């Protein structure tokens, strides 16, 4: 399903998406942006080897990038938004500090519990089904098995992009406390980022 612009009065902005060095996430967001023709969006990759999952290093990376943007585009960069895509299974004890620091800097966070792949699964399974299987869907491997139980082809366009509305609906229903900064239960906040991007599609 292709989208049309919802309004002619959108705030002129750029959306910078910061992912960790996961091939799946990089590829997904870059292809999503290309498929929906969203020139306002950019993907930046945070090198885990250089940051060592250190909250200060990760947030520092985004701050340095933001400073460069503001210096080069000072007239319009006030409307730019910065999203961190974070998996709870990769952060451990550093998770709370990273998320808190991000919000204090007015960065947005698309957190997934346990991992990004739960967003992909929610293109195929509804919120109730995923919640019922929470004890089983506790790792990336288990979630990938559940994804491949469907007729996936390896093409993001065919497997996921045409089902984005379904994933947003399922993810939103699964998020029982959307005002809470963290996700204590299985789920993902990728739906917030996807919904924002589709405003510019």
Q: Is the pLDDT of residue 81 over 90?
A: yes
- Residues 54-79, mean pLDDT to the nearest whole number: 84
Residue 1: per-residue pLDDT: 47
Contacts of 195 (CB under 8 A, 6+ apart): 168
Q: What is the pTM for the complete model shown?
A: 0.91
| Residue 147 near residue 118, CB atoms below 8 Å | no
- Write the DSSP string, 120-172: HHTTTS-HHHHHHTTTT--SHHHHHHHHHTS---S-HHHHTGGGHHHHHHHHH
Nearest to 138 by CA among 121, 158, 113, 156: 113
Task: Give tens-digit pLDDT for 115-166.
Answer: 999 999 999 999 999 999 999 999 999 999 999 999 999 999 999 999 999 9
C-alpha torsion sign, points 120, 121, 126, 132:
negative
Task: Give tens-digit pLDDT for 168-186.
Answer: 999 999 999 999 998 989 9
What are residue 49's phi and psi, to 5 degrees? Answer: -65, -35
Q: What element of type H or E holds 65?
A: helix 55-72
């Amino acid at each position: 399903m292709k989208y049309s612009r919802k309004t002619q009065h959108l705030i002129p902005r750029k959306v910078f998406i910061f992912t960790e060095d996961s091939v799946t996430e990089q590829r997904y967001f870059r292809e999503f942006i290309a498929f929906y023709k969203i020139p306002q969006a950019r993907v930046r990759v945070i090198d885990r080897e250089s940051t060592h999952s250190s909250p200060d290093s990760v947030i520092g990376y985004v701050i340095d990038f933001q400073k460069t943007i503001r210096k080069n585009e000072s007239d319009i960069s006030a409307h730019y938004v910065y999203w961190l895509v974070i998996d709870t299974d990769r952060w451990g004890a550093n998770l709370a500090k990273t998320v808190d620091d991000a919000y204090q800097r007015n960065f947005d966070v698309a957190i997934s519990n346990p991992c990004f792949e739960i967003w992909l699964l929610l293109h195929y399974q509804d919120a109730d089904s995923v919640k019922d299987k929470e004890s089983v869907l506790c790792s990336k491997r288990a979630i990938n098995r559940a994804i491949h139980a469907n007729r996936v082809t390896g093409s993001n366009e065919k497997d996921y992009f045409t089902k984005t509305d379904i994933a947003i609906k399922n993810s939103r229903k699964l998020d029982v406390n959307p005002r809470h900064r963290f996700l204590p239960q299985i789920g993902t906040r990728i739906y917030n980022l996807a919904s924002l991007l589709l405003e510019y599609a």
